[in-house]
Structures are given as structure tokens and as C-alpha cells.
Chains A and B, each alone.
Chain A
Amino acid sequence: MKTQVYIIVVITSLTACKFNSSQKALPILGERHAATKTVNGQAVTDTVYSTIPAFKFVNQYGDTITDKSLNNKIYVADFFFTTCPTICPVMHRNMLPVYNEFKNTADFRIISHTIDPAHDSVPVLKKYADKLEIAGNTWWFLQGKKDDTYHISKSYLVSVQEMNPKGQYIHDGYLILIDKQKRIRGTYEGTDAAEVTKMIADIKTLEAEPDQVNAK
């Protein structure tokens, strides 16, 4: 009898440890493949995760922003347009707590890509940021060639489409969390305040991961 109790206790504590450790790291999302390389004359197989490719856009201050501007940054990306009457206001209302939580964190950024660059010029984006009371360099509103924006959206696993017959753009409201190695670590429904609260917690978890703390 006593032995059984011991066994149960041991099993329970083991699973408890496993549970805890899985809580301390976020999953790595997106496509992956196994790559074999030669290290010290021996073949080593490793998992290679998909990363956000190189890009070049302009922010609300007219500064050029590339993938290099986000080197060694944890960042959140989304897609919107300033005249969006549906999900954008609620997405960015929900993003404000994220901005306020991390605006003094040097290695954190938010990037919002406009999918309507014809209307959303740099001054329009600046005005939008001002009205949202966004200052400094924590939250960039990015503008660029439409094709580039639509192309990069695929890397973030976000769906963006041209205008529908009613003249509205279709895009989904996901917020994508990217780590310092430019890998996708979380996707959150930006129109759901509870999901965004979870994202804030996940960003803190991510910041504490050894890979992120030691990133050069």
C-alpha cells in the first residue's frame, strides 16, 4: 500500500515539473524543416524554423524601417488601415495596454502595417499615431508598396486581401508575436481583450527565455 502511495507521489511530482517547464517557454510556430549540417566532421541534424524575411518600409516619422531595425527586438506585428470601420479600432484599443506596458522596454516594438498605402501616407499615419497618443519609437506604423505588405503578411501567417465588391479591405485581426530570432512565438486575436492580456503575459515569459536574454 505504502509503495503505491510513493509511486503516485513520484509520478505526480514528475508531471508537475513537466507542466511547469512547459509554462516557461512559448512554442515556436510556423513551418519547420530538418537540416543536416556538418559540425566537427560529424553530421548533425537540427530543426530549422521559418523566420520573418528581410523587408523595407517607412514609419510614421518618414524613417526607413527594415528587418535590421528589429534585430534583437521582441516585437508584435499587425495589419490595419486608418479608415477601417470594423475591427481596427478595437484592435488598436486593445493594443494600447501593450504599448503602455512596454513603452519603456528598449528591446520591444510594435509594428502596424497599413494595407491601404494609397490613402495612408506618412503624414496620415503620423496623424493617426498622434490621435492615439503614441509617441517615441515603441510603436511604428509602417507604409510601403502594397505588394511588399501583402507579401510579408504571408510570413506572419496573416490573411490580407484586396478590396471586396463593397470596397472594403478584408484582413484578419491577429497580433503576431516575434522573438529576437525572428521566429513566430504566438498569434492572438486582437479584437479580444482577454487574448491581448494573455499576450502581455506571454511577452514577459518570452523576455525571460535564455535564448532571448542571451541574444546578441
Chain B
Amino acid sequence: MKVKILLCILLALGVLIISCQNDESIEFKRYYTSGSLVYQSHCQNCHGSQGEGLKGLIPPLSDTSFMRSNLTRLPCIIKNGLKGKIEIDHRSFEGEMAKIDLNPMELAQVITYVNNSFGNQLGMTGYEEVITDLNTCR
């Protein structure tokens, strides 16, 4: 009997904790999970399952300082591709990244996933931010 009561209390606590999670963190998890699927189908072939890139051919996605300083450029980079020399992880890369045809929601999701994987902890990029950033594309 005592055990049952204890279980009930635990269950109630559990429900409380889960429902107490703020909306923001639930939203973040939703973005992150969907983003991992977008990553697998559009990014992983080149950038690798661990965001490690491919030797000197394809840059890794684990250079947090590059990601941070290019945060608002990321939607445009993904959507329009990237060409020319770039410095990532203290190495120089050149070549061309193809345009990836993603909608703004998918962009927000995949950016949130990448920016919080592979050692990055840069928080969430929301749908509205992506819309704003896309207006600045050259």
C-alpha cells in the first residue's frame, strides 16, 4: 500500500516536472529533433554524421567561433550555397557548396540542430529570425 502511494507521488512529481518545462525548451527540442532529420537528408553526405567534414575538401561544422560570427549569415549560406575561400578551424577551404533548397522552417530547424551539436552550444534560431536573415541575402 505504502509503495503504491509513493509511486503515485513520484508520478505526480514527474508530470509536474514535465509540464513545468517552459514552452521555449519544448520548442527548442522540437526544432532540434526535426533539424537532425533535415541534417541527415541534406547535409550529412558532405559534412559527416559528426559534423567532421571531409579532410581538406569539406569543412567541419564544429568550429563554434565561425558559427557564432556567421550566425545571421547561415540561412543565406545554406540557401544560396557558398563559393570561394573560407577560413574554418584554422584551415583554409575553397570550393563550392551547392544551394540547398530548404524552406525557412527547415532552415531554422537545421541551424538549431547544427548550432547545438558537434560541440556547439549556440542556442535556438527561430523561424522569424530566419525570415529576417533571409532578407539580407546578397
Residues of A within 8 A of B (CB): 83, 85-87, 89-90, 92-93, 96, 128, 130-133, 191
Please, which residue of chain A has its CB at the minimum distance from the CB of B48?
A: A93
**Do B48 and A130 touch (CB < 8 A)?**
no
Q: Cβ of B103 < 8 Å from any Cβ of A?
A: no
Q: Which of A89, A96, A133 contacts B46 (CB 8 A)?
A: A89
In whole angstroms, how far apart are the Cα atoms of A191 and B45 in the complex? 9
**B46: which A residues are within 8 A, CB to CB?**
85, 89-90
Q: Which of A85, A86, A92 contacts B54 (CB 8 A)?
A: A92
**Do A128 and B57 touch (CB < 8 A)?**
yes
Give the one of A85, A130, A132 with max B CB within 10 A. Answer: A85
Tell me the residues in window 21-58 of chain B with beta carbons closer than 8 Å to chain A beta carbons: 44-46, 48, 54-58
Q: Which of B45, B55, B96 contacts A87 (CB 8 A)?
A: B45
**B96: which A residues are within 8 A, CB to CB?**
83
**Do B55 and A89 touch (CB < 8 A)?**
no
**Do A133 and B56 touch (CB < 8 A)?**
yes
**B98: which A residues are within 8 A, CB to CB?**
85
**Do B48 and A132 touch (CB < 8 A)?**
no
From residue B75, how far is it (CB to closest CB) to chain A in Å? 19
Extra inter-chain contacts (19) besides given A83-B95, A92-B54, A132-B57, CB under 8 Å:
A85-B46, A85-B97, A85-B98, A87-B45, A89-B46, A89-B57, A89-B58, A90-B44, A90-B45, A90-B46, A93-B48, A93-B54, A128-B57, A130-B56, A131-B56, A131-B57, A132-B55, A132-B56, A191-B45
In whole angstroms, how far apart are the Cα atoms of A93 and B58 in the complex? 11
**A90: which B residues are within 8 A, CB to CB?**
44-46
**A87: which B residues are within 8 A, CB to CB?**
45
**A93: which B residues are within 8 A, CB to CB?**
48, 54
In whole angstroms, how far apart are the Cα atoms of A130 and B44 in the complex? 22
Against A, the Cβ 8 Å flags (1 = close, 0 = not) of B9-24 are 0000000000000000
In whole angstroms, how far apart are the Cα atoms of A86 and B97 in the complex? 11
In whole angstroms, how far apart are the Cα atoms of A86 and B47 in the complex? 11
From residue A126, how far is it (CB to closest CB) to chain B in Å? 13
The 26 sampled A-B contact pairs (Cβ below 8 Å) are A83-B95, A83-B96, A85-B45, A85-B46, A85-B97, A85-B98, A87-B45, A89-B45, A89-B46, A89-B54, A89-B57, A89-B58, A90-B44, A92-B54, A93-B48, A93-B54, A128-B57, A130-B56, A131-B56, A131-B57, A132-B54, A132-B56, A132-B57, A133-B55, A133-B56, A191-B45
